Chains A and B, each alone.
Chain A
Amino acid sequence: MEYESVIGLETHVQLNTRTKMWCGCVNEYGADPNTNVCPVCLGLPGVLPVPNAEALRKTALTGFLLNCDVPGYAKWDRKNYFYPDNPKNYQLTQLDFPSTIAGFVEFEFGGGLEKVRINRAHLEEDVGKSFHFSDYSGIDFNRAGVPLLEIVTEPDISSANMACEYLNALKSILEYGAVSDCDMEKGQVRCDVNISVRPEGQQELGEKIEIKNMNSFSGVRRAAEYEIARQIEVLEKGGQLVQETRRWDDDAGITDSMRTKEDAHDYRYFPDPDLMPHRPSEEWLAAIREEVVELPLARKRRLMGQYQLPEGDADVFVGDVALGDYFEEAAKGLKNPKQVANWVINNLRAKLVETETSVADLKFPAAAIGELVGLVESGLINSKIAQGVFAEIFANGKTPAAIVKEKGLSQVSDSSELEAFCREAIEANPGPADDFRNGKEAALNFLKGQVMKASRGKANPQLVGELLAKILNG
């Protein structure tokens, strides 16, 4: 029998707000333990939460980026559970009226386009972080109260690889919207996976098993691969699967049972009486809609259509937004944007890598690249010279025209001047000249090289070839 897997993901993403969700403490990673804390995020007696407007805004923005609805009413609930890193021993979250609902993420996968529906992206608060030492434990509450978005998919994912691609797509969308820094190593993205398997063709879903504790996207892929295989094996051997939560052991590459449905927590959710429901106004939503940026997939399609770029170039400009924006600026009004893309990808990007700088550090405007391409295309300089000119632009920010003029680099296209060079070359190299006359066309290249050398690279190579042939052919 053939089996198919059904996968849904719950992804927790830290919003990159300036301050925490309920207080004015700075939201930053890497500070000394318990330095970004205050009575509110420590859950001291008597404190009250006040919602962070930036977090509400970024949540709605994320909703729009994920094609979600942003309902006119959202509320906060307390999720009750005791854990030392949970300062109030309840977590503020959104149970039945989340800030955003019913969206989707589109991404390329397996040569086609896939769409994974988003059930909801709701806002909650992060907890502290426990550290265990030899004979005691410590908790760092710097992370406690950091705004956390939980993005829940419908069970639309059918393989481990697809899960991984969905995550990559989600990450780039959130980065595009600048709502999260999405740094996995800093724990800014965390993911739980719900997996079930069923015989192909069966309508009802198999027992849902939740996998926790993956700390990379590849971990998610490996955990899902392992779990799908494990579940199929259980069924094939005639065994039964039960609804449970399992823990991924990355080193061993296996999942272990943590708890079954029977001993699942009763979180005793109820509406938080300290917070008023959030009722977004039309004006507020309209202002946020203004901030919606073009998504990666749309950008790729547009770059390929508008500039006739090959997929590889478009991918580069989707992966590096700043470089892509720079390209678009440079290509403005030019007839051959592909040439501009080549310069940006092959020369500019290489230079940036070499000098460990970024587009923001550039000393010259994007138009300079377009100008340089224009100089080559019009035959004023050849591409070899252009490389040198680019190095100059990059180093000191001068315009290409100024450099060409200053250094006398313009291509020699004056036939009388070039003819003199050609005749000199023929006289000095009778052998190759004869070879050409005897029909060995390749000999012309040697002579051409001599002319280029004599002109210090400034000769128009095409014109040189034509002149040499004309003289030799008498």
Chain B
Amino acid sequence: MAHSLTIHQLVEQLRAGELSSREATQACLDRVEQVDGRLNAFIRVDAGDALAQADLADQARAAGEDRPLLGVPVAVKDVLAVKDQSLNCASKILGEFNSPYDATVIQKLRDAGAVIFGRLNMDEFAMGSSTENSAFGPTRNPWNTDYIPGGSSGGSAVAVAADECIASLGSDTGGSIRQPAALCGCVGLKPTYGRVSRYGLVAFASSLDQVGPFTKDVRDAATLLQVIAGADERDSTNVPEPVPNYAAALSGGVKGLRIGLPREYQVEGLNPEVKAATDAAVKQLEALGAEVREISLPHTEYAIATYYIIATAEASANLARFEGVRYGARLGGASPEEMNRKTRGAGFGEEVKRRIILGTYVLSSGYYDAYYLRAQKVRTLIRQDFLKAFEEVDLIASPTTPTPAFKIGEKSGDPLQMYLSDIYTISCNLAGLCGISVPCGFSGCGLPMGLQLLGKPFGEPDLLRAAYAYEQATDWHTQRPKLD
């Protein structure tokens, strides 16, 4: 079935004329129709619009055009601006807002010929690790719908894992791509900070956010990253580093590649099944020729606290614009203050409010030095830990998450427990690194687990090379949830 193809499989069939983009897009639409009632990965799908784009792609192909994603349906997280489409960030507060412009990554997808296919569910404003914090209801794990899919890009992971689209985009601020990819059994890549434009990505924490691909295999991750990476004059934090050929990096193998295992990652709370799966994955890489050694990241224990200070501080300002004056759902009041209070009180969910309050607090006069400023200093130390480690190793391997997916509702009353599920992913954002999660096995109750590889800044080629070598030696990525 066309909807279960990877990008490279679909492109091959489109090129051969065995399949049209309309057929592929229709197959995805049918799949959404068939399974999304149970999964709730999509917030919105505009079938007419998707098919119209598919028809244009077919016409272009008939006219002799060939582009990397010509005719490939790619779904996007509801945090990316797509011209004339709704943009809710899975929140009530944006009301009926439609974006009047395309995010740079969306423009790049269009330039590559992709069919922009539907808007994916997420934790409200990307704040969460379970996709339970959505005004559009929770997204469910396709391997077991009683379980969370991870978050915040839960919809992006589920849509790919459940074959509702060919690939998708998500965003990663502290693990929001890698964690759900691991929990849903697909590939998720967080590019180096500055590698992909953030213009049109609704900001949660500007110094940590990065857009990245969800795909069915590592080759597709390379393809999609190739399309979205690169300089953008609309994003001052974008780094004008040349974009390498990622597909070319895949075939390098891992012989001689040095992989580090952080001593500090052997934490209490690491699930034995997850540990066993990642240990086995590392063994596999070793068997393929990688050199494995222990490394130290001494400031690891401060990462979560540091993250929740910096991310919430930035979020408290980033989310200030949502007050109903210029757009979104407005509740009236006798004064601007009252309008603000009512609109934001009703529009934001609990987790978003919690983080805005936390962020407001850590920036407040008298607390700034003790919290925000200190967190920035610790962030520098964490980054230095990694840069030092990368003098000895090329990549760092770890579990993506300390446990497989948990049950819906299990941790929603305990935010601190929830925050701990990001323990392995968060430092990567603080240090501005790149990271990938690839499937590395299943728990006893059939839930996927992920191997995380972290690379130095702009080290995506190494990341892809190792992930691809591992994937080629295993078949975890070929397994699909049974939803029929």
Asked if A90 is at the interface of the complex by the 8 Å CB criterion, the answer is: yes
In the complex, what's the smallest C-beta–C-beta distance from B141 to chain A, in angstroms?
A: 28
* Contact status of A273 and B314, CB under 8 A, knowing A45-B87, A46-B201: yes
Check if B336 sits within 8 Å of A84, measured CB to CB. Answer: yes
Per-residue CB contact flags for chain A residues 200-236 toward chain B (1 = under 8 Å, else 0) read 0000000000000000000000000000000000000
- A90 — which chain B residues lie within 8 A by C-beta? 317, 320
Asked if A446 is at the interface of the complex by the 8 Å CB criterion, the answer is: no
Q: Who on chain A is nearest to B100 by CB?
A: A39
In the complex, what's the smallest C-beta–C-beta distance from A426 to chain B, in angstroms?
A: 88
Check if B202 sits within 8 Å of A46, measured CB to CB. Answer: yes
* Contact status of A44 and B365, CB under 8 A, knowing A82-B320, A82-B336: no
In chain B, positions 63-110 with a C-beta closer than 8 Å to chain A are 79-81, 87, 89, 94, 97, 99-101, 103
- A42 — which chain B residues lie within 8 A by C-beta? 326
Asked if B179 is at the interface of the complex by the 8 Å CB criterion, the answer is: no
Asked if B443 is at the interface of the complex by the 8 Å CB criterion, the answer is: no
In the complex, what's the smallest C-beta–C-beta distance from B127 to chain A, in angstroms?
A: 15
Check if A46 sits within 8 Å of B200, measured CB to CB. Answer: yes
- A80 — which chain B residues lie within 8 A by C-beta? 316-317, 320, 363
In the complex, what's the smallest C-beta–C-beta distance from A448 to chain B, in angstroms?
A: 78
Asked if B482 is at the interface of the complex by the 8 Å CB criterion, the answer is: no
In chain A, positions 238-274 with a C-beta closer than 8 Å to chain B are 266, 268-270, 272-274
* Contact status of A268 and B236, CB under 8 A, knowing A45-B97, A46-B99, A46-B200: no
Check if B199 sits within 8 Å of A46, measured CB to CB. Answer: yes
* Contact status of A275 and B317, CB under 8 A, knowing A82-B337, A268-B360: no
* Contact status of A88 and B364, CB under 8 A, knowing A47-B199, A48-B199, A83-B336: no
In the complex, what's the smallest C-beta–C-beta distance from A125 to chain B, in angstroms?
A: 14
Asked if A321 is at the interface of the complex by the 8 Å CB criterion, the answer is: no
- B336 — which chain A residues lie within 8 A by C-beta? 82-84
In the complex, what's the smallest C-beta–C-beta distance from B89 to chain A, in angstroms?
A: 7
Option from B236, B325, B360 in Cβ contact (under 8 Å) with A275: B236
* Contact status of A273 and B327, CB under 8 A, knowing A39-B101, A48-B199, A90-B320: no
Asked if A49 is at the interface of the complex by the 8 Å CB criterion, the answer is: yes
Check if A48 sits within 8 Å of B321, measured CB to CB. Answer: no
- A43 — which chain B residues lie within 8 A by C-beta? 321, 326
In chain B, positions 347-367 with a C-beta closer than 8 Å to chain A are 360, 363-365
Asked if B203 is at the interface of the complex by the 8 Å CB criterion, the answer is: yes
Check if B234 sits within 8 Å of A48, measured CB to CB. Answer: yes
- B317 — which chain A residues lie within 8 A by C-beta? 78, 80, 88-90, 268, 270
- A84 — which chain B residues lie within 8 A by C-beta? 325, 336
Asked if B406 is at the interface of the complex by the 8 Å CB criterion, the answer is: no
Q: Who on chain B is nearest to A40 by CB?
A: B234
In the complex, what's the smallest C-beta–C-beta distance from B363 to chain A, in angstroms?
A: 4
Asked if B220 is at the interface of the complex by the 8 Å CB criterion, the answer is: no
Check if B236 sits within 8 Å of A45, measured CB to CB. Answer: no
- A89 — which chain B residues lie within 8 A by C-beta? 317, 320-321, 323
Bound complex: CA A318 to CA B316 (Å): 50
Check if A46 sits within 8 Å of B233, measured CB to CB. Answer: no
Bound complex: CA A51 to CA B365 (Å): 28
Range, interface on chain B: 35 or more
Asked if A276 is at the interface of the complex by the 8 Å CB criterion, the answer is: yes
In the complex, what's the smallest C-beta–C-beta distance from B103 to chain A, in angstroms?
A: 6
B89, B94, B99, B317: which has the most chain A beta carbons within 10 Å? Answer: B317
Tally of chain A residues near chain B (CB < 8 A) = 31
In the complex, what's the smallest C-beta–C-beta distance from B209 to chain A, in angstroms?
A: 9
Q: Who on chain B is nearest to A139 by CB?
A: B325
- A397 — which chain B residues lie within 8 A by C-beta? none
In the complex, what's the smallest C-beta–C-beta distance from A360 to chain B, in angstroms?
A: 37
Asked if A350 is at the interface of the complex by the 8 Å CB criterion, the answer is: no
* Contact status of A270 and B372, CB under 8 A, knowing A46-B200, A89-B321: yes
Check if A273 sits within 8 Å of B206, measured CB to CB. Answer: yes
- A83 — which chain B residues lie within 8 A by C-beta? 336
- A46 — which chain B residues lie within 8 A by C-beta? 79-81, 87, 99, 103, 199-203
- B103 — which chain A residues lie within 8 A by C-beta? 46
Asked if B412 is at the interface of the complex by the 8 Å CB criterion, the answer is: no
Check if B340 sits within 8 Å of A268, measured CB to CB. Answer: no
A43, A49, A274: which has the most chain B beta carbons within 10 Å? Answer: A274
Check if B372 sits within 8 Å of A274, measured CB to CB. Answer: no
* Contact status of A49 and B236, CB under 8 A, knowing A82-B336, A270-B363: yes
Q: Who on chain A is nearest to B373 by CB?
A: A270
Per-residue CB contact flags for chain B residues 211-242 toward chain A (1 = under 8 Å, else 0) read 00000000000000000000001111100000
Bound complex: CA A275 to CA B81 (Å): 20
- B89 — which chain A residues lie within 8 A by C-beta? 45
Asked if A50 is at the interface of the complex by the 8 Å CB criterion, the answer is: yes
Check if A48 sits within 8 Å of B198, measured CB to CB. Answer: yes
- A270 — which chain B residues lie within 8 A by C-beta? 313-314, 317, 363, 368, 372
In the complex, what's the smallest C-beta–C-beta distance from B334 to chain A, in angstroms?
A: 12
Check if B313 sits within 8 Å of A276, measured CB to CB. Answer: no
In chain A, positions 61-117 with a C-beta closer than 8 Å to chain B are 78, 80, 82-84, 87-90
Check if A44 sits within 8 Å of B100, measured CB to CB. Answer: yes
In the complex, what's the smallest C-beta–C-beta distance from B380 to chain A, in angstroms?
A: 13
Check if A45 sits within 8 Å of B321, measured CB to CB. Answer: yes
Check if B368 sits within 8 Å of A50, measured CB to CB. Answer: no
In chain A, positions 7-48 with a C-beta closer than 8 Å to chain B are 39, 42-48
- B198 — which chain A residues lie within 8 A by C-beta? 48
In the complex, what's the smallest C-beta–C-beta distance from B177 to chain A, in angstroms?
A: 18
Interface CB pairs A-B, < 8 A, 8? A39-B100, A43-B321, A44-B327, A46-B199, A50-B234, A82-B337, A268-B364, A268-B368
Q: Which B residues contact A (CB, under 8 angstroms)?
A: 79-81, 87, 89, 94, 97, 99-101, 103, 198-203, 205-207, 233-237, 313-314, 316-317, 320-323, 325-327, 336-337, 340, 360, 363-365, 368, 372
Q: Which A residues contact B (CB, under 8 angstroms)?
A: 39, 42-51, 78, 80, 82-84, 87-90, 139, 141, 266, 268-270, 272-276
Given contacts A43-B321, A45-B97, A273-B237, 12 further A-B contacts (CB under 8 A): A43-B326, A44-B99, A44-B101, A47-B199, A80-B316, A84-B325, A87-B321, A268-B317, A270-B313, A273-B205, A273-B207, A274-B206
Q: What 3 A-B pairs come out closest when comparing CB atoms?
A: A89-B320, A273-B207, A268-B363
